[in-house]
């Protein structure tokens, strides 16, 4: 077992393939134990600050439950509480460390969580920034492993905006040896440095992963085992919604597009979904859609992650 004690998780690039697999293996084991009501708190007496500068349903609920299961007391805070009233990042972090043993943060600029981590002597976990959503992709990889039986060699097609989900799927896919195909409109591609980092991870660890960018969703989805979409306008981009709906008009995942994927392909979405925009009801409600397994696995993946860090 790799040692994640005391470590930050700001992006999946912080993990080796072995460390990522250790989280997934523990998540599956704890998921089975949870189902059998055979849970043992591992961090009794500790506390965690769960700070959400953006809205959250899944991440907030699953982190709060994961903490409770582990015997960690969660303190949930919003923008009224933390980093408010012009309090500096330094002062905020120095105060929090006197109370808690872990900071989980959802925020806007990724540089904000990096600054928090620089000041913090306690571990910091990324609950989503504008650039990355690593905890979501831990749950996604667990879900893919459950439905496909493996991760290495699996083809994942992501269709939509080159956003935080795209970045984390590319990094996670690179670590586990997946073929990641990304289709975005011109001008909405994932960041070139993150694409390069994912390819570098694949080469460094020899995972056999690939990352390929397309503009036509049909090219990306061809023979895919997993088809993924996400919102076209992420949190913080609400003012761009109308322009984005026009730009992404031909990027909706519908049944004809799904028919280009492998006949046993699954559909995934981190949620919240915008039905009729990035995905139609017929796809997200189909038997091959695993979006609620994915949402459930947030709890199992994060409980495993926190138990390894604490």
Catalytic residues, by residue number, are 106, 133, 136, 230, 270, 298
Q: Which does 11 bind (CB under 5 to 8 A by kind): ligand NVA, ligand CP, none?
A: none
**211 close to 170: Cβ distance less than 8 angstroms:** yes
DSSP H or E stretch at residue 170: helix 164-176
User: Exposure string (b/e) for 65-93, b if CB count within 10 Å is 16 or more?
Assistant: bbbebbbbebbbbbeeebbeeeeebeebb
271 binds ligand CP (CB under 6 A): yes
Residues in binding contact with ligand CP, number by CB under 6 A: 8
The residue number with the shortest CB distance to ligand NVA is 234
Q: What is the DSSP letter of 297?
A: H
Residue 165 binding partner per list ligand NVA, ligand CP, none, with a CB distance cut-off of 5 to 8 Å that depends on partner kind: ligand NVA
Q: How far is CA 142 from the centre of its chain?
A: 11
According to CB under 6 A, which one of 30, 59, 163, 307 is a site residue for ligand CP? 59
269 binds, among ligand CP, ligand NVA, none (CB under 5 to 8 A by kind): none
**Which of ligand NVA, ligand CP, none interacts with 57 (beta carbon under 5 to 8 A by kind)?**
ligand CP
Q: Give the interface segment with ligand CP, choosing from 50-58, 150-158, 238-246, 276-284 (CB under 6 A).
A: 50-58
Asked if 11 touches ligand CP (CB under 6 A), the answer is no
Q: How far apart are CA 3 and CA 102, in angstroms?
A: 16
Q: How far apart are CA 148 and CA 97, in angstroms?
A: 41
CB of 146 to ligand CP, least distance (A): 18
Kind of pairing, strands 124-126 and 102-106? parallel
Residue pair 173/148 in contact (Cβ under 8 Å)? The answer is: no
Contact pattern from residue 122 through residue 141 relative to ligand CP, giving x for each residue in contact according to CB under 6 A and a dash for the rest: ------x-------x-----
Shortest Å, Cβ 270 to ligand CP: 4
Q: Which stretch binds ligand NVA (CB under 6 A): 18-26, 202-210, 211-219, 226-234?
A: 226-234
Q: Which does 77 bind (CB under 5 to 8 A by kind): ligand NVA, ligand CP, none?
A: none
- The answer to whether 172 and 205 have CB atoms below 8 angstroms apart is no
Extract the tokens encoding 163. Answer: 């956003």
Binds ligand CP by CB under 6 A, chosen from 56, 164, 168, 252: 56
Q: Which two tokens stand for residue 59?
A: 């991440």
Structure-block tokens of residue 286: 């189909």
C-alpha to C-alpha distance for 74 and 72, rounded to whole angstroms: 6
Residue 163: contacted member of ligand NVA, ligand CP, none (CB under 5 to 8 Å, by partner type): ligand NVA
Report in angstroms how near the CB of residue 304 gets to ligand CP at its nearest.
Answer: 17
Q: What are the start-end ranges of the E strands in 194-272? A: 210-214, 226-229, 266-269
Residue 133 vs 145, nearer CB to ligand NVA: 133
Q: Would you say the C-alpha torsion 150, 154, 157, 161 has a positive or negative sign?
A: positive
Q: Give contact residues for ligand NVA (rule: CB under 6 A).
A: 128, 133, 163-165, 230-231, 234-235, 270
Which residues sit at the interface with ligand CP, rule CB under 6 A? 56-59, 128, 136, 270-271
């Amino acid at each position: 077992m790799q040692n994640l004690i005391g470590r930050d998780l700001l992006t999946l690039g912080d993990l080796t393939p072995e460390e990522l697999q250790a989280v997934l293996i523990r998540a599956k084991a704890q998921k089975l134990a949870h189902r059998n009501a055979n849970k043992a708190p591992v961090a009794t007496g500790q506390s965690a600050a769960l700070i959400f500068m953006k809205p959250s349903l899944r991440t907030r609920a699953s982190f709060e439950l994961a903490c409770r299961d582990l015997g960690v007391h969660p303190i949930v805070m919003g923008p009224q509480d933390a980093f408010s009233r012009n309090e500096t990042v330094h002062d905020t972090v120095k105060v929090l460390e006197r109370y808690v043993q872990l900071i989980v943060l959802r925020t806007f600029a990724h540089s904000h969580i990096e600054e928090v981590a620089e000041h913090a002597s306690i571990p910091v976990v990324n609950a989503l920034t504008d650039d990355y959503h690593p905890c979501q992709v831990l749950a996604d990889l667990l879900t893919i492993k459950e439905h496909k039986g493996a991760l290495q060699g699996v083809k994942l097609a992501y269709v939509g905006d080159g956003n935080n989900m795209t970045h984390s799927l590319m990094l996670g896919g690179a670590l586990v040896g997946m073929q990641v195909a990304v289709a975005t409109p011109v001008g909405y591609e994932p960041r070139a440095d993150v694409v390069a980092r994912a390819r570098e991870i694949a080469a460094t660890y020899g995972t056999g992963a690939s990352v390929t960018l397309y503009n036509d969703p049909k090219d990306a989805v061809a023979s895919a085992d997993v088809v993924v979409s996400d919102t076209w306008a992420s949190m913080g981009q609400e003012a761009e919604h109308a322009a984005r709906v026009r730009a992404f008009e031909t990027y909706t995942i519908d049944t004809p597009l799904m028919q280009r994927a492998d006949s046993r392909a699954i559909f995934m979405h981190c949620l919240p979904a915008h039905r009729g925009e990035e995905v139609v009801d017929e796809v997200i409600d189909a038997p091959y859609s695993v979006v609620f397994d994915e949402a459930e696995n947030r709890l199992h993946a994060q409980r495993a992650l926190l138990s390894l860090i604490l």
